[in-house]
Amino acid sequence: MFIDLYFLTIDLQFCNMANFEICIILISTRLFFVYSQWYLGEEKQQITTNLDTENASRPIPAKSPTECILKCQRKLRKSYFVKDKEQCFCLKEENDSIFSNEILDGILFEEEENQKCLRSCKDVKTACDDCKSGFYLLEFDEPTKVFCDLTTDGGGWLAIANITFGDWNMKNEILNNHILNPAPISRLQEISSGRFTLNPDIATIETLHNYTKFNELRVQCFKPSHQRTLNVIISGSPLMTYLFQMTPTIGLCGHVRFLPGDNSNLSTQQCVNYRIGTAGKFEYYSLPIWIWGYRHVYLENFECDDASMDSDIGSWLFFVR
């Protein structure tokens, strides 16, 4: 769980100027994000270590050099893999000692030796089934740090947008600076800020697809005003035509799946009524699932399982796999 203390502090400061009801909403919203892991948090809070000395770690179970590298990557260290014992040691430098009383015959591996075969978070999950969600380097045009959700629905999700806020007054700033002014793939590591959207233009999404071969989009959002959580996967040909051919689809039977924890009104509707996209709106965050005049996901309007811009505060996360 990654906790953003900075934004919690802002909420508390705002409470000094707001009435009691707004204060309760703000703090409740922030605590919900913290305990449900909606907000990805600061990358530095993800770095954990079990080092017993400054330079060496205890052995970590690993079945391959790739898995060893990935586990040491979270500690920002080199990896020393002992094949016959299936053990991994995370080191700072090649000549560092390892935490063991045995003389072990292993090989030192660097991150770069492994990254060429890792092009998606699904690759990370395949290479290291028990790795934890966090930031990993993927080999795009250049090594790019991304956030991988390795637990939800089997894991392998790459985060491409994270908008989280608890102050109505921030709406225009977030819309103009972070939604209508999106970021390139090279800045994906900024996802932890809670103020990030990947550029939705076709060229960027096609490039990401060429890297990762994704065919699923996961949308996860929550608004304290209605206390509903939407957590849904859209997949298959309707998603691809929506993103790349700018063609909307009505009726998503077999292409929509709601995940545990979802209590949205959208999930109670018949799949023949679901729509994806509409004329002139084909960004991944613009109506990836909606019902006419009833329930929408529409980030530009801060809609989450509703059709209203009222009570805009909330959290919106988008992933691909």
Q: Helix-strand-coil percent breakdown of the chain, rounded to 5?
A: 35, 30, 40
Q: What percent of the chain has pLDDT over 70?
A: 74
Which range has the worst mean pLDDT, 27-31, 93-97, 130-134, 218-222? 27-31
Q: Domain boundaries in the chain?
A: 60-108, 138-320
At 100 the pLDDT is: 65
Whether the CB-CB separation of 297 and 222 falls below 8 Å is answered with: no
Mean pLDDT throughout 8-37? 41
Percent of the chain with pLDDT over 90: 50
pLDDT band at 270 (very low <50, low <70, confident <90, very high): very high
> Where would I find the beta strands (DSSP E) of 16-125?
60-61, 78-82, 87-91, 107-109
* pLDDT band at residue 215 under the 50/70/90 scheme: very high
Mean pLDDT (the chain) is 80
| Cut 0.75: pTM above it | no
Give the model's pLDDT for residue 99.
64
pLDDT band of residue 26 (cuts 50, 70, 90) is: very low
Question: ∠ CA 258-259-262 to the nearest 5 degrees?
Answer: 80
The DSSP element (H or E) to which 141 belongs, if any, is none
pLDDT of residue 311: 65
Report the C-alpha dihedral over residues 146, 138, 209, 152, rounded to 10 degrees.
-50
